[in-house]
């Protein structure tokens, strides 16, 4: 069987990872600019200063998207490119860039899906307390209004936030990502609450300004699948997926229950205790604005079994278990069980907003990029997603990560996730074998995986 006829096939990127032009066109500084320019933060001292130079080459890149055959393109808008200081003065050149990108996509039959926030926090607002400042939801709402008013006639599909688990958990807890801080649990929990308030404010603004808008949210999180298909192990995997562990920052339920159920998970509230954030009377009502779809970035999961005591235990992977170049395990089961569990709990249509793998790609002597591991990965994962759909889970779209090789945050240019190979010295683009294979999958609507 194939996916449903209106299933949407796409690819994804993020602004800082591909645009470059970090100090051009009136763009302000982001926390990632400051983080990358501090020695020792990013692999080999790499920065996103130039990245894939998409800011200057977006028309060429859209033609590659058209050749690929994607029906939708998920990209992010750089907040400091729109509002250099985070609030106040609007940068016309930044708005014009995204307007021209949207025009180019639409002229080539590709639906734009814009993410409002993919980690580019304005440095000027960071210096005013960033997400810990109680005004931060209002700042995000102001930015959203500027975007909606200018681009809402062309862009009808928006995601508010991408992976708050990462930009809070890695940015303010472990310090691996920008801005590279190690904050207390109490402060990070308050930041998380402000982030969710910002999401709610953005949804309100988008609906107020754009009458026919479609809105989603794109978190990630630690996820699990049953080691066997026994009822006990399935229940254990479901429990594990929505558990709130002590390392709460990568919890699925902590970040999604308030958005989709209007409450924090009871078990998590007990874990947090006196560190719980200050929650206003109408906060959860604001956070839980209705959504049209629920995105999830899914790369891998952990197998678990029931422990016989009403809980679960993780199952060790055997020696030689397959892994990607970034050392992530290859677990195709993720695209069956995780969407299934999410849809059961939240009863909202699912969009796979990111899925893909890093490979040790290189241009071969024949001038081509042969990436059989990625082709195998895509087929294995999409077979599982197709089974998930056939078994009744309402999955509407799949966005492959990533359209092209790019700046992979703290790993710099050391990882290649793209369907298109980028020579970062020359900016030459070379479609990989997986590019042509994914094109065939799209043309066949996944029927012959």
Tens-place pLDDT, residues 209-257: 999 999 999 999 999 999 999 999 999 999 999 999 999 999 999 999 9
Is 34 part of any known ligand binding site? no
| Backbone dihedral angles phi then psi of residue 61, each to the nearest 5 degrees | -70, -35
* Residue matched to tokens 């990502």: 177
Is 162 part of any known ligand binding site? yes
Is 177 part of any known ligand binding site? no
Say if 2 falls within a structural domain: no
Catalytic positions are 163, 354
For range 366-380, the mean pLDDT: 98
Say if 255 falls within a structural domain: yes
Contact 191, 198 (CB under 8 A): no
Say if 425 falls within a structural domain: yes
Is 409 part of any known ligand binding site? yes
Is 337 part of any known ligand binding site? no
Say if 416 falls within a structural domain: yes
Percent above pLDDT 70 for the chain:
100
Split into its structural domains, the chain has a count of 1
- The domain in which residue 328 lies consists of 8-443
* Residue matched to tokens 């402060």: 187
Q: Judging by beta carbons within 10 Å of its beta carbon (0-12, 13-18, 19+), is residue 178 exposed, middle or buried? A: buried
Is 255 part of any known ligand binding site? no
Say if 3 falls within a structural domain: no
Say if 448 falls within a structural domain: no
pTM of the model: 0.98
Say if 73 falls within a structural domain: yes
pLDDT at 2 over 80: no
pLDDT of residue 33: 98
pLDDT of residue 337: 98
Residue 304 token pair: 């678990």
Long-range contacts of 252-257 (CB under 8 A, 24+ apart): 252/219, 252/221, 252/222, 252/223, 252/342, 254/192, 255/164, 255/165, 255/192, 255/196, 255/219, 255/221, 256/217, 256/219, 256/221, 256/294, 256/342, 256/346
Read off the CATH number of the domain in which 144 is found: 3.20.20.80
List pLDDT tens digits, range 314-351.
999 999 999 999 999 999 999 999 999 999 999 999 99
List pLDDT tens digits, range 388-417.
999 999 999 999 999 999 999 999 999 999
Is 118 part of any known ligand binding site? yes
Say if 315 falls within a structural domain: yes
Give the alpha-carbon dihedral of 83, 85, 90, 94, to 10 degrees: -40
């Amino acid at each position: 069987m194939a996916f449903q006829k209106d299933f949407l096939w796409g690819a994804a990127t993020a602004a800082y990872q591909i645009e470059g032009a970090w100090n051009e066109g009136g763009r302000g500084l982001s926390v990632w600019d400051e983080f990358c320019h501090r020695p020792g933060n990013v692999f080999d001292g790499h920065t996103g200063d130039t990245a894939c130079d998409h800011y200057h080459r977006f028309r060429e890149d859209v033609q590659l998207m058209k050749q690929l055959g994607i029906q939708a393109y998920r990209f992010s808008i750089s907040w400091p490119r729109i509002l250099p200081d985070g609030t106040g003065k609007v940068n016309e050149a930044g708005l014009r860039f995204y307007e021209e990108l949207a025009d180019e996509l639409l002229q080539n039959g590709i639906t734009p899906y814009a993410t409002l926030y993919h980690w580019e926090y304005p440095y000027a607002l960071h210096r005013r307390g960033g997400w810990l400042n109680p005004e931060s939801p209002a700042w995000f709402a102001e930015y959203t209004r500027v975007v909606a008013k200018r681009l809402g006639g062309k862009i009808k599909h928006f995601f508010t936030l991408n992976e708050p688990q990462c930009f809070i958990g890695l940015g303010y807890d472990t310090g691996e990502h920008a801005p590279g801080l190690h904050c207390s649990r109490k402060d990070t929990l308050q930041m998380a609450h402000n982030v969710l308030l910002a999401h709610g404010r953005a949804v309100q603004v988008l609906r107020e300004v754009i009458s026919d808008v479609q809105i989603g949210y794109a978190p990630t999180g630690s996820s699990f699948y049953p080691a066997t298909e026994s009822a006990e192990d399935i229940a254990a995997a479901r429990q594990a997926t929505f558990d709130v562990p002590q390392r709460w920052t990568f919890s699925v339920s902590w970040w999604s229950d308030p958005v989709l159920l209007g409450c924090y998970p009871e078990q998590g509230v007990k874990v947090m205790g006196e560190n719980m954030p200050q929650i206003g009377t109408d906060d959860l009502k604001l956070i839980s604005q209705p959504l049209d779809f629920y995105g999830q970035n899914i790369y891998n999961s952990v197998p678990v079994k029931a422990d016989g005591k009403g809980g679960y235990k993780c199952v060790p992977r055997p020696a030689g278990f397959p892994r990607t170049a970034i050392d992530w395990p290859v677990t195709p089961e993720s695209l069956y069980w995780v969407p299934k569990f999410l849809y059961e709990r939240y009863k909202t249509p699912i969009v796979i907003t990111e899925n893909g793998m890093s490979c040790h790609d290189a241009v071969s002597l024949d001038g081509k990029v042969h990436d059989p591991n990625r082709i195998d990965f895509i087929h294995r994962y999409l077979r599982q997603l197709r089974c998930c759909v056939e078994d009744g889970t309402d999955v509407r779209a799949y966005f492959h990560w990533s359209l092209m090789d790019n700046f992979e945050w703290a790993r710099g240019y050391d990882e290649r996730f793209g369907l298109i190979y980028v020579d970062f010295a020359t900016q030459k683009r070379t479609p990989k074998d997986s590019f042509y294979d994914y094109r065939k999958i799209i043309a066949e609507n996944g029927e012959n995986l």
